[in-house]
Structure 1
Amino acid sequence: MNRRELGFGVATTTLTLGAASSALAQTRPVDPQVFIAGFDAQAGRLPEAVQADVRAVYQLTGGKPIWTADRLRVLQEVAAGAERHALPAGDFFDFVGLAADPGSAEIRTTAAAVTYARVLAEGRVRPETVEDLWEMQKNSVDIPRGLTQAVSANQLSQWFDNLAPTDIGYTNLSAGYARYRRITRAGGWPAFRQGGTIEPGTSDNRIPALVARLVAEGDLSASAGERLKGNLAYGSELQQAVRSFQTRHGLGSDGRIGPGTQRSLGATAEDRARQIALNLERRRWLKRDLNPERIEVNTAAAIMVYWKDGKPVHSNRVVVGSVENQTPSLEKPFASVVANPPWTVPMGIARREILPKGPGYLAAHDMYVNADGWVVQRAGPQSSLGYVKFELRDSYAIFLHDTPSKGAFNLSVRQRSHGCVRVQNAVEFARLLLQPDPAKLAQFDTAQDNRQTTRVTTGREIAVRLLYWTAFVDGQGRVAFREDVYQRDAKLAQALGIAVNLPRVIADGPSDANDVGP
């Protein structure tokens, strides 16, 4: 399987595992003395990025070679599983070439093994190079020590299996990638032609292509697809399947096949497979041990999920940063809520959007300029922070909060803030977080009743993670997609050498010129 087949756009050596296995089985063991004598020269010819790992492996083995024919066969089996991680095995392993050059095979095999292992454990690219602000907890693995221990314990396959994330989010998305690759190999689905809106109850000659597409992705059953084959009517059964498709893609699920839905229908199976590959890479960057109680915000989907005891127990819609004011990828602790918070307006927003409108605007929005020159909005019904703020420590002035602008929660494209995260039903969510301590909950409720600004500690730290997932598995086990509103897929794809062609986002509501909230 080559790099082009996996959608990475560049052809590389094709693996022929059977032939390589036969050749490697006939390779004589490397003489330790000969190997050690030539080690430095061979290691120096490796890519600089891998030299330190390879040297560390042989420091741990005391300079002894590690690759036998049996271990090489296990490594071939490991390589054969690379596709489920959306990784082209040919980028790491050339078993035929190794068998043809026994003199360098030992070190080159180790270089391939540690390179592949590090990609599984930590990703192919450094996240800071493809995101303007990325401050998450990275995964970090001692690859040389792990490899040598796995070889010594005859657990090479198990070790490789545990390097990539093993959580359900990654494994389900990996399975989704395999499914979309199968669809691609089978010829994909028929192209859906852009045109006028298809209204419920009408007929259209694009319906057969629509049926085939919905069957391929599972929004419509195969039996229903057979029954509707050749039909041009857009009836109720098909409308229900379209609403399923719209929900998976974060579109308004009204059953109307308008411009936004048509653009999403225009993506090919290969497009979606490549998008999944990008999101698998993002997940490999992150540390594996997660706080069992945490708040995760997917800024691409504008959805928040609250995890308790390692399980998702609550979800809300959110409004996140606009394209011009993107919410960054952050991981910060949260330990208090502020009831009825005033808003100290960041200087940039004040200079650009508030002060030029004059004192009348400030007065109408319950704002004033304090002694230090900051614009402050008083707590109350007009406060852009609403009735509660969730404070994050050292978060570059990024936090979660309530908002008086409730209408944006009903939109599909909710990237509209100045970078902070506005939470739907925020007061109710704050009460949920404070529920384990009745005294703190009562303190919060009292503050809401008397409209006094009050800070209430949670009594525990809760991790908040701001993530960017444009492909993920939803609660029904289906792969859900969001378009690349921040263009981070495009930047990551360029770094990985993947050609992507994803639909453009279509906003489903006008911007509010009076909305200056964070």
Structure 2
Amino acid sequence: MRKALLVCSLLALSVPLAGCDMFSGSSVAGAEDGSWTDGTARQLKEAIDNRATHGLDRMNFAVEGDPDSAEGQQALTQSALRYATAVAKGVSDPTKLYDIYTAARPEPELQAGLTKALADGKLGEWIDSLAPQDDNYRKLSDAYLALRKDGTAPATEIPDAGEPLKPGDTDPRIPLIARQLVASDYLDRVEPGTGYTPIMVAAVKRMQADYGIEPDGVIGAEALQILNLSDTDRAKAIAVAMERLRWLDRNVPDTRIDVNIAAARLTYWRDGKIVDTRKVVVGKPETETPQLGSPIYRLVANPTWTVPRSIQNKEIAGKGAGYLARNNMAWRDGWIVQQPGPQNSLGLVKFDMKNDHAIYLHDTPAKQLFGEVQRQRSHGCVRVEDALGFAEMLARDEGVTDEWQKARATGKETFVPLPKEIPVRLLYQTVLFDDAGEPVIRADAYGWNDRVSAALGFPSSEGRRFQASGSDVGP
């Protein structure tokens, strides 16, 4: 339950903000769109001075201009729109950072909003209202500000004592190591004492295997590099998490499915409340699951699987007729098609989605992968834990239980349209919160945070990445 709650709680460089295209079409004429006064100019400066609230303190939003001149009015308007855009939509544009990004984005009327804020003399209030207003954003902001103040954030960096830490050793660093293993999901809880216990050793070995290190349980420099999070590392991750939330449309559907690709978790919202959360398996680093907004429009019972050319050419080519027969596959119109059945790579149910990237949710016969900590192991689609149970839940909630049960009973591929599409968002968020409200930094398995942190003005850093193993031919 703890981990379910933890996951449920969340979900362009240092240069002018992507030119003027971040607010293309908006006039920056100045006085004729709303007059600046000394008071509103002061409010703008105060708002920008407090930009650390949004993790934007490494960005330059200099306030220039004297409100007593036309040129000054225009300069103040430009500064206000640049900062308002950053708060409302983000410093960076995800559709330019990534090859694929289709999640709904906010489209505020910034010029009109600025004009009204100037007329009302409430510029600061208006800028504050542009940021996400949910609890997650506020908690991220509080955590970021705490990291900037000496002594207010718990120590997280594990010092290198020079000698590797071996199983059975006693060391004062053990509580810090255990805390990070828990945060990373490799360990269930921090046990008292400073002994390097067999339970911790097993957790470290599992972590080492995920990162391509010899799984010997010895904590040397390489293992510490994975475990260690400096305050800068934590601040960077939190600032990126806030930026990712700013990318998202504020008007989210009350009924929806959110998949956190980084945490490999699914959350099902119904009428504004979380009704279910479960593990998923998502794409491995070389076949990432893209960030999409794409609805489920039908359930598919006993699906067939038409093997994509990429998988066919790389992983099935040359296998021969015996392999195809063992896996219930056959050639059909130039494609390899796997017939329905429990060993089908899509399992017994597919959740068909509308997108141009052949990405969808589905069942899987590879149940063991749900037991992994790092579940980035598929070819890009999203495998759902207990997918049949989830399908039954959706069918019940959408009033098509009878149709679903009849479809399953046929043993053949059968389609059950949903009376209303269910929106799905595939997102990437590496900061979650534990039951105590403390931020938990999860692995950036795809390295997708790097380009966002660069846009926010953070220096680049190198660290070990997750190396997928144990995957199969399934999508």
User: What is the TM-score when the length of structure 2 is the normalising length?
Assistant: 0.82
Alpha-carbon deviation of 1:279?
A: 1.9
CA distance in structure 1 between the aligned counterparts of 2:157 and 2:36, rounded to whole angstroms: 48
Contact 1:483 1:503 in 2 (8 A): no
Distance 1:401 1:298, change over 3 A: same
Secondary structure of the structure 1 residue equivalent to 2:95: helix
Contact 1:165 1:288 in 2 (8 A): yes
Q: Does residue 129 in structure 1 map to residue 96 in structure 2?
A: yes
Alpha-carbon deviation of 1:489?
A: 1.2
Pick from 119, 122, 141: which aligns with 2:108? 141
Q: Does residue 429 in structure 1 map to residue 398 in structure 2?
A: no
Contact 2:58 2:456 in 1 (8 A): no
CA distance in structure 2 between the aligned counterparts of 1:282 and 1:376, rounded to whole angstroms: 38
CA distance in structure 2 between the aligned counterparts of 1:411 and 1:209, rounded to whole angstroms: 23
Alpha-carbon deviation of 1:103?
A: 7.6
Query: What letter matches 2:470 in structure 1?
Result: S
Pick from 317, 329, 338: which aligns with 1:377? 338
Contact 1:181 1:270 in 2 (8 A): no
Q: Does residue 60 in structure 1 map to residue 20 in structure 2?
A: no
CA distance in structure 1 between the aligned counterparts of 2:391 and 2:142, rounded to whole angstroms: 36
Which residue pairs with 1:304 in the alignment? Answer: 266
Matches within 5 A, 1:60-79: 60-61=33-34, 66-79=35-48
Matches within 5 A, 1:235-250: none
Q: Deviations over 1:234-286 (max 9, x none)?
A: 589x98xx99xx9xxxxxxxxx8968974443120111101111121122112
Query: What letter matches 2:41 in structure 1?
Result: L
In the alignment, structure 2 segments of 5+ residues that lack a partner are 1-11, 208-216
CA distance in structure 2 between the aligned counterparts of 1:151 and 1:276, rounded to whole angstroms: 32
Q: Does residue 487 in structure 1 map to residue 447 in structure 2?
A: yes
The structure whose Rg is larger is 1
Which residue pairs with 1:505 in the alignment? Answer: 465
Secondary structure of the structure 1 residue equivalent to 2:397: coil
Query: What letter matches 1:487 in structure 2?
Result: G
User: What is the TM-score when the length of structure 1 is the normalising length?
Assistant: 0.75
Q: Does residue 293 in structure 1 map to residue 293 in structure 2?
A: no
Q: Identity of counterpart residues, as a percentage?
A: 36
Q: Deviations over 1:51-104 (max 9, x none)?
A: 96453554534xxxx22122223223322331110012861134xx65699784
Query: What letter matches 1:375 in structure 2?
Result: I
Distance 1:209 1:418, change over 3 A: closer
Q: Write 1 or 2 for the structure with the bigger share of helix.
A: 1
Secondary structure of the structure 1 residue equivalent to 2:315: helix
CA distance in structure 2 between the aligned counterparts of 1:138 and 1:296, rounded to whole angstroms: 15
Q: Structure 1: which 4+ aligned runs deviate by more than 6 Å?
A: 8-11, 99-103, 184-187
Alpha-carbon deviation of 1:197?
A: 5.5
In the alignment, structure 1 segments of 5+ residues that lack a partner are 1-7, 12-46, 247-255
Matches within 5 A, 1:243-392: 262-370=224-332, 372-392=333-353
Which residue pairs with 2:474 in the alignment? Answer: 517
CA distance in structure 2 between the aligned counterparts of 1:198 and 1:442, rounded to whole angstroms: 58
Q: Deviations over 1:334-359 (max 9, x none)?
A: 12110110101112211221132111
Query: What letter matches 1:165 in structure 2?
Result: P
Contact 1:296 1:466 in 2 (8 A): yes
Deviates more, 1:423-432 or 1:470-479: 470-479
Secondary structure of the structure 1 residue equivalent to 2:285: coil
Contact 1:130 1:495 in 2 (8 A): no
Q: Does residue 444 in structure 1 map to residue 404 in structure 2?
A: yes
Alpha-carbon deviation of 1:378?
A: 0.1
Matches within 5 A, 1:2-17: none
Q: Deviations over 1:298-354 (max 9, x none)?
A: 111111111112222211111111111111111011121101101011122112211
Contact 1:274 1:500 in 2 (8 A): no
Pairwise CA RMSD: 3.7
Which residue pairs with 1:16 in the alignment? Answer: none
Bigger relative CO (Cα 8 Å, ≥ 6 apart): 2
Pick from 42, 52, 57: which aligns with 1:83? 52
Which residue pairs with 1:249 in the alignment? Answer: none
Q: Deviations over 1:442-501 (max 9, x none)?
A: 222233344232212222111111111122335653312222221211222334432143
Matches within 5 A, 1:388-403: 388-403=349-364
Query: What letter matches 1:451 in structure 2?
Result: G
Secondary structure of the structure 2 residue equivalent to 1:149: helix
